[in-house]
Amino acid sequence: MNALALKSIALETSRGNALGAYFTETRFELTRMVRNPGVAIPVLAMPIALYALFALVIFGEAIDKDANVGVFMFWAFSLMAVTMPALFATGVTLALERDMGLLRLKRAQPAPPAAWVVAKIVSGLTLAVLAYTPIVIVAFAAGKLSLDAGQVATLSGALLVGTIPFCALGLMIGSLVSGPAASSYALLVYLPGCYLSGMFFPLPRSMDWQASIWPQFHVKEFAMHLAGIAPHREPLLVAIAVMLGCTVMFAGVTIWRLKQKG
Amino acid sequence: MNNTISSENRLHALDAVRGFALLLGVAFHAALSFMPGWPPGIWAMNDNSPSQFLSDAAFVTHIFRMSLFFFVAGYFGRLLYQRLGASAFWANRGKRIAIPLVAGWVVLFPLISLIWTIGITKVFGGTMPPMPEMPKVPGAFPLTHLWFLYQLLLIYVAAIAVRSIIARLDRNERLRGLVDKAVTASLQAPIAVFTLGLPVAAALMSLPFWFYWQGIPTPDQSIIPQIPASVGFGTAFAFGWLVHRSRDALSVIGRRWFVHLVLAMIATGWLLHTMHASPMAQPGVTKTLFAMIFGVAVWGWVLGLTGAALRFLSNYSATRRYIADASYWIYLMHLPVVAAFQVWVGHWPLHWAVKYPFILIASFAILFVSYHYLVRPTFIGQLLNGRKYPRKPLSPGATPAPASPPPEDANNGGPVAQMRGITKKFGAVTALNSIDVEVRRGELLAVLGPNGAGKSTAISLWLGLIEADAGEVTLLGGAPQDIAKRRGLGVMMQDVELPKELKVRELVRLAASYYDDPMSVEETLRRAGIEPLANRAYGKLSGGQKRQAQFAVAICGRPQVLFLDEPTVGLDVQAREALWTSVRRLLADGCSVVLTTHYLEEAEALADRIIVITKGRVIASGSVDDMRALVARRQISCDSQIPLDDVRAWPGVVDAQRTQERLQITATDAEGVVRRLLAADAALGRLEVRQAGLNEAFNELTREAA
């Protein structure tokens, strides 16, 4: 079996094509995550813990009276579950790797430039799925969610797509600040967005104007549109355009910065 | 040689642009079943989920895609004419353009008619409405989307005719010289984007019925040349031709890409806005303005996209080459495929945002697979692209056979890495000052120098990590930024930590995945002498073992040139010897090595040549023996009262200094000087003689150099 395994490894590596590099890079990025779970555990545990606290304990009765409250709770913490790992897993590790000189080495090696970006985004998405799944299970098991399976499936897909701008934001932060500072800066950018976008509690009218500054707001609108959950605050195309624009802008800054500094 | 490289690079970029223009045509046609407000029957299908967004996107791409194609065609047209001469040019164009036009029409027209009949029947709920007949005008003919080949042939005829007239009138090339200057200057200004749009604007203004959306009306209904298309695409072709004539025009386009794109976007924004207000041109100011701004948009996009390609896509990429080769076949064949999918999905109860990507992906999948199996390895590929490639299985992401030769052939016999006249500054500090270095095939070049001398800057330039302020850097005959060239290098850098969670075996496997033909992991570990460390996590290794793992990562890709930046720092004697042995073996296999080091003995043990860099200049270079002579100086120190000036005058003394009681002498003939010292001063004490370290040798060399 060993000989066979070796042979397949030799075959795999001897092909050396671009796709192989993407695949290998992603695979080892995930391996690293599994072997060093310290980074991931907080972002995995927090959303489900908060959801359980708010949806089951604090607002449990309110949800039983008004199903909309349940839906609100569900997507708020789901959004948190998918966006947080996207931001933290990509940004913090990128910043640490820059400090290690690893990015400089990868640029010098013939590593396809986008391979590590893809690897980071895939690991961000994987963490997002891991953080989000328990919320779905708990919500259904506790009967706190009045959406049908189709809506939940669409919502899940939309939320995963919504992680992409956050991956790009994470990469931007990681490319701008040093390793130890990265998580603080990520929090600084992330938390105000959670509150001020109206994600956790309905905003007073006087603050409505600024909700659309935060990417969270547009990902929320995007997901609600696709899952057919009313009411909508902006058209679907606007939400898509903003998400796309944010991704392009953050990725652009990242690429510019890495070109300047490595 | 430099010129050859850069002109080849330009061709890669223009090939990419042409391929892009053609593939964009597929995306354009795929959008046409989703146009809101189109009457049924105008296209093969009217989808039940129309999209204003796709309508706008299609309009934007339609502004420039054919002009872009004809512009590149003009450039390549002149290139081909210069290269082949008149008769071979026509033979070539006959094969590549005329035969595909005729054969393509014969095969495609029935298919297209069939799909249209099915589609329109479906649109009208199962009954085929009476079709409008071809207009009864002379020359009427359904060219379909192959009109562009016909138009191109007409333009070739016109271009060659005009060329021969001008060649006769302008025998001393004075006129043509002026035109070349005007072309470059107008691009530089940049006013070309405004002036080039004027002819097409005039032709469009004169149209009695003009739907803004259609831009330049497609001449697909008649074999009589249509004025707007002939003017618009003729201008594009002519300007491409002139850009090829003019030596500097292309590099100006490459520099001005951003300005042109910004102008294009502003113009396009205005066009969209105006068109939404009224889609049909009414005679008057708006129509005139629309036509003028349409011209600006056309040329902003054409020049901007070409410039961006020259700026960002000028290196060789096997994938892009493959796509560019495939694009001609794909564009020729796409219409029935795309339309069939449009008809199929037209009544599905799904949003256009699902159906449109589906049509595109499915069509491209069919078209690329058909290209790979039916065209690339067969006479069709020979006919369309002038080349038949050996058959290879289509595995996902498999790099197709490169059309340009692999790096080792490109540069046989020449230096593997070179710097000419390189200057690099960091702020006020000049890290490298006009240096020339070359690395020859199969040699080990040791780069010595004190800290901050510029060694690492030189290596970073060769690795493509930074760009020089002046001069030219080449790696394996090309730019180090070109990833295809870097596949020929291996690198071990200073101050790099690899991921601590991964095992050594995994680190090697990851690095190997970047190369085309790497060694197996086992072979790499054996060569680096670290088989026992294979399954240890990198984070658990000692400092020396980490360097060994990095060395394995550097050699796994069978590099043609290996950069080792201070590789043996922190290694014990045994590990260092093992590393030296592997380096010697690589050299024996023909690999070239660039080694920076502080240890003279390391350079002595391995190097064929040594260069010494200090303060950004090469102050000495030569064989190991030459260098040995330079540093065969020794430091003598003793307590003695002999006057300094006397000592300085002795033969074999390079320099003498006194610090307090201590006399410090640098000597080339230490034994002679010591004999003389002892004879001259009976009270001499605490005598010491030692080999001058490299740093001292460097310091002296530097003083001498200054």
The minimum CA-CA distance between A96 and chain B, rounded to whole Å, is 10
Best A2, A7, A13, A22 member to test B by mutation, with max B CBs in 10 Å, is: A13
pLDDT value of residue A36: 80
pLDDT value of residue B405: 35
Q: Tell me, yes or no, if B501 comes closer than 8 A to chain A by beta carbon.
A: yes
Residue B399: pLDDT band (50, 70, 90) is very low
Q: What percent of chain A has pLDDT over 70?
A: 91
For residue B395, give both structure tokens.
């595995």
Residue A8: pLDDT band (50, 70, 90) is very low
Q: How many helices (H) and strands (E) does chain A have?
A: 11, 0
User: CB–CB of A9 and B509 under 8 A?
Assistant: yes
CA nearest neighbour of A218 among A204, A198, A203: A198
Q: pTM of this prediction?
A: 0.55
User: CB–CB of B511 and A104 under 8 A?
Assistant: no
Look at chain A and count its residues.
262
Once rounded to an integer, what is the mean pLDDT over residues B304-310? 94
CA nearest neighbour of A23 among B654, B163, B395: B395
User: CB–CB of B319 and A18 under 8 A?
Assistant: yes
User: CB–CB of A21 and B396 under 8 A?
Assistant: no
pLDDT value of residue A10: 39
User: CB–CB of B518 and A13 under 8 A?
Assistant: yes
CA nearest neighbour of A32 among B645, B24, B503, B562: B503
| CA atoms within 13 Å, Cβ hemisphere of A169 | 26
Nearest CB partner across the interface for B513, out of A16, A31, A97: A16
Check the CA dihedral A256-A259-A260-A262 and report its sign.
Answer: positive
Residue B237: pLDDT band (50, 70, 90) is very high
Q: How far apart are CA B269 and CA B297, in angstroms?
A: 9
Residue B136: pLDDT band (50, 70, 90) is low
- Amino acid (1-letter code) at residue A252: G
Once rounded to an integer, what is the mean pLDDT over residues B16-20? 94
Chain B CB contacts of A110 below 8 Å: 483, 486-487, 489, 514-515, 557
Chain A CB contacts of B50 below 8 Å: none
- What would the pLDDT profile of B318-334 be if each residue is shown by its tens digit? 888 889 999 999 999 99
- Mean pLDDT computed over every residue of chain B: 86
Residue B9: pLDDT band (50, 70, 90) is low
User: CB–CB of B491 and A36 under 8 A?
Assistant: no
Residue B421 has pLDDT above 60, yes or no: yes
User: CB–CB of B514 and A104 under 8 A?
Assistant: no
Q: How far apart are CA B434 and CA B445, in angstroms?
A: 19
Question: Residue B687 is inside which H or E element, if any?
Answer: strand B685-691
CA nearest neighbour of B662 among B640, B633, B691, B692: B640
Q: Tell me, yes or no, if B338 comes closer than 8 A to chain A by beta carbon.
A: no
Cβ neighbors of B554 (< 8 A, separation 6 or more) are B490, B491, B492, B562, B563, B564
CA nearest neighbour of A100 among A114, A122, A116: A116
Nearest CB partner across the interface for B399, out of A17, A31, A97: A17
Cβ neighbors of B509 (< 8 A, separation 6 or more) are A9, A13, A24, B521
B553 → chain A, closest CA residue: A109
For residue B501, give both structure tokens.
């969670």
Cβ neighbors of B286 (< 8 A, separation 6 or more) are B274, B278
Distances (CA, A) of B456 to A46, B431, B466, B614: 45, 9, 11, 12
Count the neighbouring beta carbons within 10 Å of the beta carbon of residue B51: 21
- What would the pLDDT profile of A227-259 be if each residue is shown by its tens digit? 888 788 888 888 999 999 999 999 888 888 877
Cβ neighbors of A136 (< 8 A, separation 6 or more) are A78, A152, A156
pLDDT value of residue A260: 67
Residue B345: pLDDT band (50, 70, 90) is very high
Best A6, A11, A17 member to test B by mutation, with max B CBs in 10 Å, is: A17
CA nearest neighbour of B697 among B593, B599, B566: B599
CA dihedral B617, B619, B624, B625 (to 10 degrees): 170
User: CB–CB of B514 and A21 under 8 A?
Assistant: yes
User: CB–CB of B520 and A9 under 8 A?
Assistant: yes
Chain A residues with CB under 8 Å of a chain B CB are 6, 9-10, 12-25, 28, 31-32, 35-36, 97, 100-102, 104-105, 107-113, 237, 262
CA nearest neighbour of A70 among A78, A60, A80, A83: A60
pLDDT value of residue A7: 39
B493 → chain A, closest CA residue: A105
A112 → chain B, closest CA residue: B514
Nearest CB partner across the interface for B463, out of A12, A35, A108: A108
| CA atoms within 13 Å, Cβ hemisphere of B647 | 27
Q: How far apart are CA B327 and CA B339, in angstroms?
A: 18
CB B256 within 8 A of CB B243: no
Cβ neighbors of A142 (< 8 A, separation 6 or more) are A55, A56
CA nearest neighbour of B357 among B349, B347, B345, B367: B345
**Residue corresponding to tokens 């002595």:** B604
Residue A218: pLDDT band (50, 70, 90) is very high
Residue A114 has pLDDT above 90, yes or no: no
The residues pairing with B613 across neighbouring beta strands, listed in sequence order, are B618
User: CB–CB of A107 and B509 under 8 A?
Assistant: no
The minimum CA-CA distance between B399 and chain A, rounded to whole Å, is 6
CB B372 within 8 A of CB B394: yes
- What would the pLDDT profile of A133-192 be if each residue is shown by its tens digit? 999 999 988 888 888 888 888 999 999 999 999 999 999 999 898 888 888 888 888 888
B37 sits in the region (left: phi over 0; alpha: psi -120 to 50; else beta) called left
pLDDT value of residue B395: 41
Residue B131: pLDDT band (50, 70, 90) is low
Q: How far apart are CA A98 and CA A207, in angstroms?
A: 38
Angle at which helix A179-196 crosses helix A215-227, to 10 degrees, equals 60
Q: How far apart are CA B202 and CA B200, in angstroms?
A: 5
Cβ neighbors of B85 (< 8 A, separation 6 or more) are none
Q: How far apart are CA B548 and CA B530, in angstroms?
A: 7
What is residue B222's three-state secondary structure?
Answer: strand
Q: What percent of chain A has pLDDT over 90?
A: 21
Q: Which of residues 551-590 of B touch A (CB under 8 A)?
A: 557, 563
The minimum CA-CA distance between A155 and chain B, rounded to whole Å, is 16
Once rounded to an integer, what is the mean pLDDT over residues B131-148? 77
- Give the strand order in the sheet containing B417-426: B429-439, B417-426, B470-475
Q: How far apart are CA A262 and CA B417, in angstroms?
A: 23
Chain A CB contacts of B499 below 8 Å: 28, 32, 97, 102
CA angle B244, B250, B254 (to 5 degrees): 160
Please state the ipTM of this predicted complex: 0.84
Nearest CB partner across the interface for B517, out of A16, A19, A24: A16
The minimum CA-CA distance between B494 and chain A, rounded to whole Å, is 9
Burial of A204 (0-12, 13-18, 19+ CB in 10 A): exposed
Residue B408: pLDDT band (50, 70, 90) is very low
Best A26, A97, A109 member to test B by mutation, with max B CBs in 10 Å, is: A109
Once rounded to an integer, what is the mean pLDDT over residues B47-69? 93
Best B483, B510, B522, B523 member to test A by mutation, with max A CBs in 10 Å, is: B510
- What would the pLDDT profile of B620-671 be if each residue is shown by its tens digit? 888 877 776 666 678 888 988 888 888 888 888 888 888 877 888 888 888 8
User: CB–CB of B489 and A110 under 8 A?
Assistant: yes
User: CB–CB of A20 and B513 under 8 A?
Assistant: yes
User: CB–CB of A101 and B499 under 8 A?
Assistant: no
CB B689 within 8 A of CB B634: yes
Residue A16 has pLDDT above 80, yes or no: no
Question: Residue A173 is inside which H or E element, if any?
Answer: helix A149-176
The minimum CA-CA distance between B553 and chain A, rounded to whole Å, is 10
CA nearest neighbour of A72 among A85, A87, A54, A48: A54
A241 → chain B, closest CA residue: B53
pLDDT value of residue B701: 61
Instruction: Report which of residues B649 and B700 the model is more confident about.
Output: B649
CA nearest neighbour of A215 among A175, A179, A172: A172
Q: Tell me, yes or no, if B434 comes closer than 8 A to chain A by beta carbon.
A: no
Between A and B, how many residue pairs show a Cβ–Cβ distance under 8 A? 108
Residue B699 has pLDDT above 90, yes or no: no
Is residue B190 reached through a cis peptide bond, with omega within 30 degrees of 0 on the bond before it? yes
Residue B139: pLDDT band (50, 70, 90) is confident
Chain B CB contacts of A113 below 8 Å: 483
Cβ neighbors of B4 (< 8 A, separation 6 or more) are none
CB B34 within 8 A of CB B50: yes
A236 → chain B, closest CA residue: B353
DSSP alpha helix (H) spans, B589-693: 600-606, 624-630, 644-649, 670-680
CB B97 within 8 A of CB B149: yes
Chain A CB contacts of B495 below 8 Å: 101
Residue B618 has pLDDT above 60, yes or no: yes
User: CB–CB of B513 and A6 under 8 A?
Assistant: no
Q: Tell me, yes or no, if B393 comes closer than 8 A to chain A by beta carbon.
A: no
Chain B CB contacts of A16 below 8 Å: 512-518
Question: What's the per-residue H, E or C state across B397-457?
Answer: CCCCCCCCCCHHHHCCCCCCEEEEEEEEEECCEEEEEEEEEEECCCCEEEEECCCCCCHHH
Q: How far apart are CA B42 and CA B479, in angstroms?
A: 50
B510 → chain A, closest CA residue: A24
- What would the pLDDT profile of A121-143 be if each residue is shown by its tens digit? 888 888 899 999 999 999 988 88
